[in-house]
Amino acid sequence: MKDCLFCKIVQKEIPTEVLLENDFFIAFNDINPKAPIHVLVIPKKHFQDISDIDGDVIAKFPEFVKTLSDKLGVTDNGYRIITNKGKDAGQIIFHLHFHLLAGKNLGDLI
């Protein structure tokens, strides 16, 4: 989408420090972190939300997150993956994205 912030990041029109990237996903730090480690994982193809994603793309997600969590050093202690669908759930940018949160006990963080 032309005016989508995350599409512009994927297209390298907006610079960001990429933590991991493959043919399907890109990961970078959230600019407003809610945990010591707060990474956004977005599909390179534009999907509005979780209901919109192709099965072939979402099937690649677990492998990407495993590689990312290993790179971040959080695989053993754990992490949380969150996505929001729709404005009532808190979705602000309508390009599907996942929050990977880690780096502390997240038991009290929803």
The CATH architecture assigned to 5-18+29-54+64-102 reads 2-Layer Sandwich (3.30)
Q: What is the pTM of this model?
A: 0.93
Query: What is the set of active-site residues?
Result: 97
Report the C-alpha gap between 17 and 33 in whole angstroms.
15
pLDDT, tens only, 17-38: 999 999 999 999 999 999 999 9
Calculate mean pLDDT across residues 35-64.
Answer: 97
Phi-psi region of 73 (alpha: psi -120 to 50; beta: other; left: phi over 0): left
